[in-house]
Structure 1
Amino acid sequence: MRRTRDPKRPVQASAPHTSWAVELRAVQRRYGKGRATVHALRGIDLALPHGSFTAVMGPSGSGKSTFLQCAAGLDRPSDGTVRLGGTDITTMNENKLTELRRARLGFVFQAFNLLPSLTVEQNVLLPMRLAGRRPDRHRAAEVLGQVGLGDKGHRRPSELSGGQQQRVAVARALVTRPDVIFADEPTGALDTTTATEILGLMRTAVDGLGATVVMVTHDPAAAAWADRVLFLADGSLADQLDHASAQTIAARMTDLTTRHRRTAGAVA
């Protein structure tokens, strides 16, 4: 049975948490000025616990990408507060914010973003180097083993399949034991079988390693791997589903998209 969220109540787990993995309070993001102003986010309130897997969905133009960029410190909100692991990142200067992203966050993108001139092991160790830490080859071997690539450390990305390259990206995201892993359409360039393998890896990272994953996706089958699915519409949190099937998620997305088109048509 679908559960509909009270839009005035922040999204959070039932149990109290003194420190959330991801916390957004009254977050707004506007672009432009005057009549040309675009309200990409309209007062987002949510709190996500450590060790959780959250998927974010919504119609085109709903604010998914802006949400991820603001939550991950890649963009600054116009108003409101963002905290990661209890740290307020909203007013951090760019140098401090860069340090935090390198040391405490992991990223997985649709485009694998591996450096072709580096080996698999060197790509995995890159976040450590960028954070000014001594590269830990034992840790690299550990995470490569966890994603099933323990024997590929000396290969180049061009020698791997697309699915294997995304596995390297997941290993790279895990290597620093980050507070949060942000994933932006991580399975968008993969076939169904390989996508399932990657989603299984992220699910295992949450369940077995205590990682926190926040994933933007358009695919209900991918979102069904998450503990919770948040739905954005017109820059606001419209609904949520917990432990839902792909069919239930797809039905909710169809409903939201239909309403979004009707609203857009009425405004036009």
Structure 2
Amino acid sequence: MGLRRSKRRNESETSGAAPGGYGQDGSAAVELRGVRRQYGSRRGVVHALRGIDLVLPRGTFTAVMGPSGSGKSTFLQCAAGLDRPTEGSVRLGGTEITGMSENKLTLLRRTRLGFVFQAFNLLPSLTVEQNVLLPMRLAGARLDRRRAAEVLTQVGLGDKGGRRPSELSGGQQQRVALARALVTQPDVVFADEPTGALDTTTAAEVLNLLRSAVNGLGATVVMVTHDPVAAAYADRVLFLADGSIVDSLTRADPATIADRMRHLTAPAPSYAGAVA
């Protein structure tokens, strides 16, 4: 099942406008420069990130892997503006967010970023359609029910808009979460272990939808995962260890990714980073 470009987006591209976050200005979707994140002080300092330099082009699918405690969650939180780095710069869709006020940052997350989590995070009291429209409601924007219907159809749930999350399977709930993440045509979709609670078949369906969002819509996806099979759907896999990017693979198969995970070592001094 693939995702189709919306008519509205095609019209915008024809006119030369940059619709939503799928801008055509050539700027990077995600850019981190010298990003460090420390917790605690003095003897209790924890170096969660140790100087990340990274550029991710628009329209790419990147997986981030690493052992427990490697900094994956902190990386995602800093890249998505959910946490502030101790040092360094973060840009999303060409916008510097490092010194942005909390109010502006909240608005940016609601209008230009999409999120998919392992736990789905759907509101049980709302219908499927209302859950998908939630980013627009929170941003104070006009509720575009046609757009909601469009993305629900794209994820195979066009007839489920009036249902409650409790009436859906786990895989269907994750599809609703994906539709919610895509509804505003964000600069970046951040996915944190999106298949962790799903069986193998359902996980493959969700990963195919993420892949289709990149191929068919020009979306940019950054996914943290522990699963080599999931990571193999990405264009590129970044490996974190001890707060640093220590390796990367391009269009690798699950066996190669799993083997690289088993042989992760501390950062090599000669490694120049993962700048695309």
Fold in common (TM above 0.5): yes
Q: What is the deviation of 1:255?
A: 0.7
TM-score, normalising length from structure 2? 0.87
One-letter amino acid matched to 1:140: A
CA shift digits 1:86-110 (9 cap, x unpaired):
0000000100000000000000000
Matched, 1:134 2:142: yes
2:177 & 2:239 partners in 1: Cα distance? 26
CA distance in structure 1 between the partners assigned to 2:140 and 2:262 by the alignment: 46
How far the C-alpha of 1:18 sits from its partner, in A, is 4.9
The residue type paired with residue 188 of structure 1 is G
1:27 to 6, 10, 35: 35
**Other-structure match for 1:145:** 153
Match of 1:56 among 54, 60, 64: 64
Shift of residue 19 of structure 1? 1.3
Give the AA of the match of 2:183.
V
**Counterpart-to-counterpart distance in 2, 1:221 and 1:111:** 20
Which residue of 235, 239, 242 maps to 2:243? 235
Matched, 1:175 2:183: yes
Give the Cα separation in 2 of the matches to 1:125 and 1:103.
Answer: 12
Percent identical residues: 79
- 1:62 partner SS: coil
Q: Output the TM-score relative to the length of structure 1.
A: 0.89
Q: From 206, 213, 216, give the equivalent of 2:221.
A: 213
Counterpart CA distance in 2 for 1:162 and 1:145 is 18
SS at match of 2:263: helix
1:123 paired residue number: 131
Query: 2:10 matched to which residue of 1?
Result: none
Equivalent residue in structure 2 for 1:253, among 254, 261, 269 = 261
Name the SS for the 1:152 alignment partner. coil
- The one-letter code matched in structure 1 to 2:45 is T
Residue 83 (structure 2) pairs with residue 75 (structure 1): yes
Q: 1:176 to 1:18 in 2, by over 3 A?
A: closer
CA RMSD of aligned residues (A): 0.8
2:53 to 45, 50, 53: 45
Q: Distance in 2 between matches of 1:167 and 1:232?
A: 28
Partner residue, 2:207: 199
Equivalents in 2 of 1:67, 1:49: separation in Å?
A: 17
2:230 alignment partner in structure 1: 222
| Greater than 3 Å deviation, 4+ residue runs | none
The secondary structure found in structure 1 opposite 2:58 is coil
Aligned equivalents of 2:135 and 2:107: distance in 1? 11
Please state if 1:88 is matched with 2:96.
Answer: yes
1:125 CA displacement? 0.3
Unaligned runs of 5+ in 1: 1-16, 261-268
Q: 1: distance between equivalents of 2:185 and 2:46?
A: 36
How far does residue 59 in structure 1 lie from its aligned partner after superposition?
A: 0.7
